[in-house]
């Protein structure tokens, strides 16, 4: 059965415009909190295929989204390259051994040595695939990875950052080392995503959450070209698997984000009409409601109706313009999904 979400990614006609939400499996769902408590912590949950499968399917069953997204994290890649990942409550991810030199980089695993270690992710995908195939609810499975730049910022800074000053110091004073890091991460991610596809995902999304930290004239060199390299590699092997590119915060870059992919994820700071004008002829557009509108049903309906109007003669997938926040009422997330379906019924 061809899936509505996959068809929409490929620009085909669908009975309505499908919808999913970034970070849809997460803390706003009491059912997620219960499974996470059983697992003990977030990383244990990522490492447990049965539980990861369970939380992947929760938003499909509870909120009614048209696609599940694999439950994992972008940072499992540097973790399996050999960096020591911790998630600290109330603080976020932390690596205690950030990369400072070529020697530090050389000590990390690369290519298949790293990607072959992510067996728990591949096992999770196989379980989800089996579950979805036993249903007849037409839901797709999205696999994902972080863009090399976004991953590199964590590997260099050791944690989240407001200024990116350590990564950018490297960008301007030792670009060769930064490129070596990006190239090594790119190799791992290529094999990782290939294995995700072979394990059963329907669609790939590449998250460049920290795209906006780079000045426009340097964006291609330090981020976009590596994302395109990953997309080209996957398209050469799996031409039928749709690829979604999501560089966050890039209204100024829309003239330089071309490549061999299917869907462009529009973040909430970019007007959808502008994205449509610049990219709508080439790509399906995904997005882009401001996630905080989910606090109000009225604000949600207003935005969904406006997006439907802008995209009425375009190719579109509904989503938020970034991740859902932990204190959003579940009822409001359900309202978002049903409003997207209501306004787009054909
Ligand atoms: O539902 C989904 O979208 C699938 C799962 C998913 C998670 N992380 C689970 C998660 C996905 C796709 C990600 C991607 C991710 N992880 C990104 C890119 C997307 C984005 O939001 O920009 C980034 C930058 C990360 C790194 C990361 N992971 C941070 C900064 C944090 C801490 C912030 C926070 O929200 O606590 C995480 C933890 C994380 N990843 C959680 C979840 C559900 C929260 C962990 C918990 O407390 O249960």
CATH number of the domain that residue 126 is part of: 3.20.20.210
Global pTM? 0.97
CA of 15 to the centre of ligand 1 (A): 31
Nearest protein CA to atom 23 of ligand 1, as residue: 74
Ligand 1 center to 95 CA (angstroms): 15
Q: What is the pLDDT of residue 136?
A: 83
List 264's β-bridge partners, or say none: 245, 285
What is the rounded CA–CA span in Å between residue 68 and residue 214?
A: 30
Cβ–Cβ < 8 Å for 223, 147: yes
Q: Which residue has its alpha carbon closest to ligand 1 atom 24?
A: 209
* CA-proximal residue: ligand 1, atom 48 (nearest): 42
Place of tokens 């603080």: 91
Long-range Cβ pairs for the range 217-225 (8 Å, 24+): 218/171, 219/247, 219/250, 219/253, 219/256, 220/256, 222/149, 222/171, 222/178, 222/179, 222/182, 223/147, 223/148, 223/149, 223/150, 223/247, 224/253, 224/256, 224/257, 224/259
Q: Find how far residue 73's CA is from the centre of its chain.
A: 9
Q: Which atom of ligand 1 is least distant from the CA of 144?
A: 12
- Full domain range(s) for residue 126: 4-344
313-324: per-residue pLDDT in tens? 999 999 999 999
Nearest in space to 345 (alpha carbons), one of 20, 65, 16: 16
CA of 309 to the centre of ligand 1 (A): 31
Mean residue pLDDT of the chain comes to 97
The per-residue pLDDT for 2 is 85
Q: For residue range 6-25, list pLDDT tens digits in order.
A: 999 999 999 999 999 999 99
- Just list the catalytic residues: 23, 27, 36, 73, 154
Q: Is the CB of 27 under 6 A from ligand 1?
A: yes
- When divided into structural domains, the chain yields a total of 1
| Helices 330-344 and 297-310: angle between axes, nearest 10 degrees | 30
Pocket test for ligand 1, best of 56, 73, 144, 266 (most atoms within 8 A of CB): 73
Measured between alpha carbons, how far is 286 from 338 in angstroms, rounded to an integer? 17
Tens digit of each residue's pLDDT (9 = 90 or more) over 43-75:
999 999 999 999 999 999 999 999 999 999 999
Q: Ligand 1 in contact with 45 (CB < 6 A)? A: no
Ligand 1 contacts CB of residue 71 (under 6 A): yes
* Alpha carbons 21 and 325: distance in angstroms, whole number: 11
- Residue (of 40, 26, 115) closest to 69 by Cα position: 26
């Amino acid at each position: 059965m061809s899936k509505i979400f996959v068809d929409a990614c490929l620009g085909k006609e669908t009975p309505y415009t499908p919808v999913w939400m970034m970070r849809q499996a997460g803390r706003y769902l009491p059912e997620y909190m219960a499974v996470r408590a059983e697992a003990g912590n977030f990383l244990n949950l990522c490492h447990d295929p049965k539980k990861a499968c369970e939380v992947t399917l929760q938003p499909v069953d509870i909120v009614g989204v048209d696609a599940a997204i694999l439950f994992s994290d972008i940072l499992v890649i540097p973790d399996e390259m050999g960096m020591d990942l911790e998630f600290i409550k109330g603080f976020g991810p932390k690596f205690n051994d950030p990369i400072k030199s070529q020697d530090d980089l050389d000590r990390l695993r690369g290519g298949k040595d790293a990607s072959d270690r992510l067996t728990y992710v591949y096992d999770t995908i196989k379980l989800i695939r089996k579950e979805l195939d036993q249903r007849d609810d037409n839901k797709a499975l999205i696999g994902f990875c972080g863009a090399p730049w976004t991953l590199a910022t964590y590997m260099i800074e050791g944690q989240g950052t407001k200024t990116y000053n350590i990564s950018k110091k490297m960008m301007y004073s030792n670009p060769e080392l930064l490129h070596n890091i990006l190239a090594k991460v790119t190799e791992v991610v290529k094999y990782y995503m290939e294995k995700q596809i072979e394990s059963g995902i329907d669609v790939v999304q590449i998250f460049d959450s920290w795209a906006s930290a780079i000045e426009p004239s340097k964006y291609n060199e330090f981020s976009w070209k590596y994302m395109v390299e990953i997309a080209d590699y996957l398209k050469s092997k799996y031409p039928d698997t749709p690829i979604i590119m999501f560089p966050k915060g890039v209204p100024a870059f829309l003239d330089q984000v071309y490549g061999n992919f299917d869907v462009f994820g529009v973040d909430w700071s970019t007007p959808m009409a502008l994205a449509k004008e610049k990219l709508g002829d080439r790509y399906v557009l995904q997005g882009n409601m401001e996630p905080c509108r989910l606090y109000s049903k009225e604000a949600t309906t207003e935005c969904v109706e406006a997006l439907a109007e802008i995209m009425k003669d375009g190719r579109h997938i509904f989503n938020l313009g970034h991740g859902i926040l932990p204190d959003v009422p579940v009822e409001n997330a359900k309202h978002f999904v049903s409003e997207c379906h209501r306004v787009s019924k054909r």
